[in-house]
Structure 1
Amino acid sequence: MSQENQINGIFSLKTAVTVGFGVTKRTAQSETYWFVKEIEDNAFDVQSLDMDFKRQGAPFRITREKLFEDYHLEPDLSYRLLSQPLLVGDHYRASNKPASAEQEYLKIKRIDEDNIRANFGLGLVYLAMDKTEKASYIFDRLVRLEEAFEPRHKHLFNEFGINLRKKGLFDEALKYYFRARELSPTDDHLLLNIARVYYEQRNLAEAEKTAREALAINPDLAEARRLLERIWDTPPRIELPPIKI
């Protein structure tokens, strides 16, 4: 299910509790906070949040009817703890302040560990900071999340794949692109990016084959033609010039 249409956010649950004893006994309202994530049409995972709004305990599943009957959406908290850090993190990343961006993305992951945009942001930040081990961890998480390859995330997806290649993480880049190809087998730009990785690996035969596949889908893809020209003009014995794109 697309995250775009999911119900994800912070909800509150108000329950009546009895406090005191004897003549001091009374009923009071207890309010707790929960992170709710829609899993499928009529199934929601609910996980308790502690006083610092960190996840605690194991999540459990409820129905849509139960959610709207017992829980109340907290839009202000959802914005302050989930949406706003994402906007701030993206701003810091665009401003070349990766350490500050990292802190904002981590705020989101304390609550929503599988948040696609936060994971992409963290992966890009770790690559920018040359923290390849942490970037690889994020990469492993992203390739398991089908939502990461949805069209609305395409700009982040492309940026992440390109940065994997530029950092010399060719095997990770190929694994990443092959996962995307399972979900979008006729994406000409995806095939072009795979061809670029093969070119960087000095695997000219596969680079040419994949670039031709991209052109078969889109004969007007000029970047694929330029890559083919570079392949044809570069004998395998000569050091290959790096791709600038």
Structure 2
Amino acid sequence: MSAELTKARAQINKVGTYLKQAKPLPAVSALYEAVAAVMRTQLIRSEKEEFSKLILDAVLHLNGDRNLRKIYPLILEYKPGSEKELVDQLYSVLGELQASAVESAKDMMADKEERIERGLAAGKLLIEEKRFDEAKDLLEKLAREFPRDSDLRARIAELFIGGELFEEAFSYLDEAIELSPDQIHHYNRIGIVLRKLRKFDIAEKYFMRATEFAKSDPNLYFNLGRLYIDWARWDKAEKASRLALRLSPGFVEARKLLNYALKKQGKDPEPGA
């Protein structure tokens, strides 16, 4: 038996497994590809008989599947020799299933967004009422519900920043960065949070990581300079503010930061402040 027929047999055998897992789309796709492969291959009599039985069993499985019937109520018809007609019908079924999957994905996305917005609003209210423990519990459950959503973690962090709960904000921003290391605004926010916590050395490391992704962002260097000002590292504050000004010569706040750092070092201020 050829490799293509061996693969076709394996695909047909997967139909029942997929249906048990409530996955009608891959089940129909597997049968469609298998029957198409059988049609492309010259079969001997025993192979024809074997595949006719395998295909018929798979069709019966599909016809008896409740999940498939909800989306495609028509009965699939097959008898030996009618593979072409079956392939055409399976192609039609695939179209219906794919359209249904798209609509289902849209519904799931809308439901996700609604749950997130509702949860964030409830968490914000609890923080405003200073019911911090309840807010922490609620927002932690929300984050666990969507474990790969970096934007959600950043938004939760913003709520904690608003309530001056900087340790909690740091934790969620750190998770957001782990999930999306190229999102520069997360680094800026976590650097600011760590500056407020006076964890200057850790904040510096996050800003340095951010420069790997955004060497041309003047705000990044300005915030780094603010960190060095609070840290009383005047020479480093000067260097960071100069980098910000090199990228954005009209950056007024960066000019002020530079002259403050120069003053602290006993150097003459530069014009333009």
Q: TM-score, normalised by structure 1?
A: 0.56
Q: 1:192–1:224: 8 Å Cα contact kept in structure 2? A: yes
Partner of 2:109 in structure 1?
Answer: 78
Q: Which of the numbers 199, 224, 229 marks the counterpart of 1:169?
A: 199
* Matched position secondary structure for 2:212: helix
Q: Contact 1:214–1:224 at 8 Å: present in 2 too?
A: yes
C-alpha separation in 2, matches of 1:145 and 1:102: 21
Helix, strand or coil: the match of 2:192? Answer: helix
What are the residue-to-residue correspondences of 1:220-239 with 2, within 5 Å? 220-234=250-264
Paired with 1:176 and 1:69, the residues of 2 have a C-alpha distance of 44
1:142-194 CA distance string (max 9 Å, x none): 333336516xxx4x664443233223232332222222211110101111001
Q: What is the CA distance between 1:30 and its match in structure 2?
A: 5.7
1:29 match: 66
Measure, in 1, the Cα distance between the counterparts of 2:232 and 2:212.
24
Code of the residue aligned with 1:119 in structure 2: it is: R
The structure carrying a bigger strand percent of its residues is: 1
1:144 maps to 178
Gaps of 5+ in 1: 1-11, 17-26, 32-64, 237-245
Higher relative contact order (CA 8 A, sep 6+): 1
| Backbone CA RMSD of aligned residues | 3.8
Flag the structure with higher helix content.
2
Structure 1 residue 218 displacement after superposition: 1.0
Does the 8 A contact of 1:116 with 1:148 survive in 2?
no
1:119-150 deviation line (CA, Å, top 9, x unaligned): 11233344545362x44443432333336516
Matched AA of 1:120: A
Residue ranges of structure 2 left out of the alignment (5+ in a row) = 1-20, 28-63, 69-94, 267-273
Distance 1:141 1:93, change over 3 A: same
Q: Deviations over 1:40-82 (max 9, x none)?
A: xxxxxxxxxxxxxxxxxxxxxxxxx9x94895624344323x2
